[in-house]
Amino acid sequence: QVQLVESGGGLVQAGGSLRLSCAAAGRTSSSYAMGWFRQAPGKEREFVATISWSGGSTYYADSVKGRFTISRDNAKNTVYLRMNNLKPEDTAVYYCAATRGRIATRRDDFGSWGQGTQVTVSS
């Protein structure tokens, strides 16, 4: 159980960059792996990236590999998603999520979710 607050979404041109942030409210004494998911209209929520509590392990969906970077600053209770070379197909609502334990890619493995932030990439 952790409350997540997202920010950083917006409108950007293709080829541009954007950084999303997700902050956990209050203190957390447990270790949480974090993830980013996205959902386009009419589609299911899909995995984007995940990172371990220490930040030492990351994993990315093939569609964003080499363009997106997930990172975290535990002192600030914040996880980031740096998105470079954005494409129109990246347009979606982006959600951050937390899971107790190791990194994961399945939606059902994450117990806490942010409210989502809209990312729109124009061509």
103 Cβ contact list (under 8 Å, min separation 6): 33, 35, 50, 51, 52, 57, 58, 59
pLDDT of residue 61: 98
What are the tens digits of pLDDT across the range 85-108? Answer: 999 999 999 999 999 888 999 999
Cα separation, 82 vs 18, in Å, equals 6
pLDDT digits (tens, 9 = 90+) for 5-60: 999 999 999 999 999 999 988 666 568 899 999 999 999 999 999 999 989 999 99
CB of 93 closer than 8 Å to CB of 121: no
pLDDT value of residue 111: 92
Nearest of 62, 55, 18, 39 to residue 113 by alpha carbon: 39
